[in-house]
Amino acid sequence: MTVKNLLVREIFDSRGEPTVEVCIVDGSGEEFFGQVPSGKSRGEREVFVLPPKAAKKAGELLNKKLRGKRFISITKFDRFLLKLDGTSDKKKFGGNVMLGASIAFTRGLAFEHKKEPWQILQKEFFPGKNIKRVPFIFSNVINGGVHANNDLDIQEYMIVVRIGRPVEKSVETLVGFYKKLGDFLGKRYKMKNLPIGDEGGYSLDFKNNFEPIHILGELIKKFRLRKDFQIGLDAAASGFYKGGWYMFAGARLSREELLKTYERYFRQAPMLVSVEDPFDENDGGGFAELLAAEKKKLIVGDDLTVTNPAAISAAGRGKLISGVIIKPNQIGTVSEACAAMKAAHKLGIKCIVSHRSGETADNFIIHLARAGGAYGVKIGAPVKERMSKFDELIRIYS
Ligand code: PGA
Ligand code: ZN
């Protein structure tokens, strides 16, 4: 694909925060876009994000360097960007600008080859691996932590949905469950308008951090969804780790005490199958202990691993995790996000391709999941801008 022009625009995400959209025009005047989400509970080791004004400037510079150049693969395009940037954390062009460009280029290349983006990704990065497995949907229906103004320390309470056929029906069941959960919470807490968190989940106050798990479990049973619905958490524990202690449920917990809390949750709620970032991003020992104690559960790295192939390999070899979150904007290019998935596959770690708390209508992550045969896709609640991802999921997995 030949890059005729590249333009960076400022757009606003679902939280009303500014982010970027990159447009690349190809030799025949066709336009391709890449919109980049933004995260609120970011990992310390994520790549640099340029603020919109600087991002636009970076775009102008990038345009000068790219104009008229032809690239035959995503790897070659990304390598060119990486070399131009020259920093280890993408400080010069910003991971947001580079990822937007990388996604727009991928779409352009797919168009040139008359293929879907997931097909072109699969061909280049996951050859011979035409994995048809439909992923689990991780849908965040109750929000806490920094994504909400309530008393929950745990950031996300998710429904983990096993998708059946037709795919549409599974999504409809999830949408129905989300509505019924709202009705239930409204009645129980006598609230007409339930507060909603950053990822579309209900964000009222609860009795304690376990109550949402209990309620989800009861409703799953009540609506006879046990076969296909399970429960997942994202503790996002870096968010409540202060001065060497976990500030949890009004108490100051040590690693061991928090570990015991998770073990109790797993025992009390057999439907609970996964916990993401159970400990601080610098407390790998906590991850390792939990994984050793709960071999059958999914212990997932997000802030810990930041979609970085080397960090994922290290966490896998150290037996810290059995699952990993893949967020392209944590690392900043499409080819590096694919390398992160490959690093995980190599060690038998399950990949969950994920959105961010500040989302756009861009559905690229679904294509990445399809290409790399992801175990799961994490999309938030089935509402508003997140629906475009559910729609794409239905389209490309049907
Ligand atoms: P984010 O967090 O606010 O950084 O997108 C989501 C997550 O922790 O998974
Ligand atoms: Zn997370």
**pLDDT exceeds 70 at position 14:** yes
What pLDDT sits at residue 114? Answer: 98
What pLDDT sits at residue 171? Answer: 97
Smallest CA-to-CA distance from 262 within 288, 226, 233 is with 233
**pLDDT exceeds 90 at position 323:** yes
Tokens, residue 381? 């609640």
Q: What span, in angstroms and rounded, lies between the C-alpha atoms of 57 and 54?
A: 5
What predicted TM-score, i.e. pTM, was given to this entire model? Answer: 0.98
The rounded percent of the chain whose pLDDT value lies above 70 is 99
Which tens digit of pLDDT belongs to each residue from 138-182? Answer: 999 999 999 999 999 999 999 999 999 999 999 999 999 999 999
3-class DSSP state for residue 209? Answer: coil
Which of the listed residues 17, 275, 331, 357 should we mutate to test ligand 1's pocket, taking the one with most ligand atoms within 8 A of CB?
A: 357
Smallest CA-to-CA distance from 228 within 137, 297, 353, 350 is with 137
Tokens, residue 250? 């009004």
Which tens digit of pLDDT belongs to each residue from 83-120? Answer: 999 999 999 999 999 999 999 999 999 999 999 999 99
Query: In sequence order, which residues have a C-beta less than 8 Å from that of residue 145 and are 6 or more positions away?
Result: 41, 152, 153, 154, 155, 156, 236, 239, 240
Average pLDDT on 270-294 reads 98
**pLDDT exceeds 70 at position 71:** yes
By DSSP bridging, strand 323-326 and strand 350-354 are: parallel
Which tens digit of pLDDT belongs to each residue from 214-227? Answer: 999 999 999 999 99
State the alpha helices, DSSP H only, in 113-254.
117-125, 167-188, 211-222
Which tens digit of pLDDT belongs to each residue from 123-136? Answer: 999 997 666 789 99
What pLDDT sits at residue 133? Answer: 82
Measured in angstroms, how far is the CA atom of residue 119 from the centroid of ligand 2? Answer: 28
Catalytic residues: 199, 327
What pLDDT sits at residue 385? Answer: 77
Measured in angstroms, how far is the CA atom of residue 355 from the centroid of ligand 2? Answer: 10
Average pLDDT on 340-346 reads 98
Q: What span, in angstroms and rounded, lies between the C-alpha atoms of 135 and 201?
A: 21
Average pLDDT on 277-306 reads 98
281 pLDDT band (50/70/90 cuts)? very high
Domains of the chain: 3-116 (3.30.390.10), 136-397 (3.20.20.120)
3-class DSSP state for residue 336? Answer: helix
Residue nearest to atom 1 of ligand 1 (CA): 39
Q: What span, in angstroms and rounded, lies between the C-alpha atoms of 307 and 47?
A: 10
What pLDDT sits at residue 130? Answer: 64
Measured in angstroms, how far is the CA atom of residue 243 from the centroid of ligand 2? Answer: 21
Between residues 228 and 129, the one the model is more confident about: 228
